[in-house]
Structure 1
Amino acid sequence: MPNEIIRHPRLSSDAVRLLTWALSLPDEGLEPLSKTAKRAGIGKSAFTRAKRELVAEGFVHEWRRQGDGGRWVTEQMISNVPLTAVEAAAARDGRPSVPSPAAGEPNRPAVGRSPKKTEKKNYNPPTPGPAPVVEPEPVADEVPVAAEREGEDLSTSMQSSVCTVPPPLVERGGLALAAIAHVEPRLRLSGRDVAKLAVLAGEWFQRGGGMSDLREALVSGLPEVVHSPGALVCNRLTRKMPTAPTFAELREADRRATAEPRVGGMRECAGEHTQPRLFRPVDAETLCPTCHSDAEAGVAAAINAAVRGGAAVRELLHARRAGVAA
């Protein structure tokens, strides 16, 4: 166990516990991280945060692929040193991620471990061989735009994404896509398309995007005819995805949410109540909404009474003037 993991400045205690527990498992006892977290006593929310930290720091990598029978399989890799995406893919495929070291230099230990979310899991250490040629990735505005115009199926771009979206957000994303497709005929999605794209829409909400932003990103600038609504929606969700918040920002948001008490910022109503009533003021008001409504109703009644009294006085004066003139 490297000291860098135990003393890592950006990993929480749950993330360190999850990683050390997973690395301590024998070859015949490898299991998915979710099962390891359950055995380690880590709850669902804490597991989601811990896994997000390990993915961000390069200790955990995931790939999704569709098997021969049509079922989706998630492949996980856990390492005791941080790996880039290229190094992790090379370790998974049994290829060296860097050229072989020169004679006399220490060899890098094999740290790649690529268990799948099934009972069958094994090690895939790098083997000597020629260094892989890494092709440059296309610019984000080139290939996706062309695919959007041609209506190509972009479901392959979802297979390599890390699925760390909680189920409630995935369900919310599916409902949002179904609502948008119901309003916009050009984006009519099938049930299968909604199920596939719900993870991307859920990640949109997880990164802080709102429903109005999602609708604007999908509906604005649509062509007259959309040949492949699923591919277009997948492309726009991927290209226009909000920037993910950093770990420091997430920790600060959690700290603010837990630091402020439930009664913080509340004020006691100055109206007459049997017991003191607290309310959260919007500006500088001193009455709760109920008392404020009652006060407005009393003012309105007083105004109406004054209007009626003034009308009666005017009628009396007119009658007296008429009598004097007669």
Structure 2
Amino acid sequence: MIYRHHIAPPRAFTQFSHDLIRHPRLSSDAVRLLTWQLSLPDGAREPLSRTAERARIGACAFTRAKRQLKEEGFVHERRLQGPGGHWVTQQLVSNVPLSAAEAAKILARMPVHVSGASASPQLAPSARVPAVGAPTPPPTDGHPEKDPGGNTSHPPAEPDATAPGAADVPEAARALVAALPHLSPDLRRIPRGMHDELARLVSRWLTAGHTTGAIRTHILRGLPDDGTPVHRPGGLLRYLLRDVPPAPTPTSSAPTAEQPAPARPSSRLAALRECEGDHVQATLFRPTGDETLCRRCLNSPPPVASRCAPSPRQRTVIA
């Protein structure tokens, strides 16, 4: 049996409903975080994370408690851009559950506060001590006496006459570049400004004799296969297509100088024939006609029957 004794506090107290304190889906940390926030003065702008630190609520418990309060409608928050371009997060804490529309109406009436530490004040330029002497006007003598082109440390780059222009790029190269986003998900974000450059690189491969299928296979082999995301697909394609290897030559079945035909046997060996007799190793002989056995096999006697061979059956006649 349990007994309860309480005395109404004369000051510094906050009234909460039983539905809030005994909420079945709120943990003790969520109830403590909510009641602590509701007990703060009206002008306090303390965020939920600071309240969790003061209430000795850990990071994981705070995340779980905040999620429960947002799911039940006691906490709402939104991000918006305040004065000066700073992004701020507004949090609304209520003692009764609110819908998203009701919370949006309340937050729309609230002023946007930006902390003074995050704002960067602009200071007016201070007065400077003028330099000694009168100001000197810039020289206006006209052009220099000689051409300084030879003394220029960084002369302008000469245009490459061999580089193909936009009009020289074949339509097949442009079509291949336009279809690259469909080749792999890693190539979906190719910048539009790089299509002409990539088309010129592809045209070099086509001019060297490579087919469009070979170019696609080369690009697919260069993509990461371990799940690494490609943040700059245009730069990766420029790297893969920068060097053009020689096109593979078609293989031919005719013998070439590098692969000589198999040598024919000499005329002496061509006149020999392999004996079909019983030999341990293959035996060659020179036939005089159409015989298939060598002289040794022809002169050897026929094999003798084995002693263990079964004798023919004899019939016994009984009169």
User: Would the TM-score normalized by the shorter structure come out above 0.5?
Assistant: no
Structure with max Cα Rg? 2
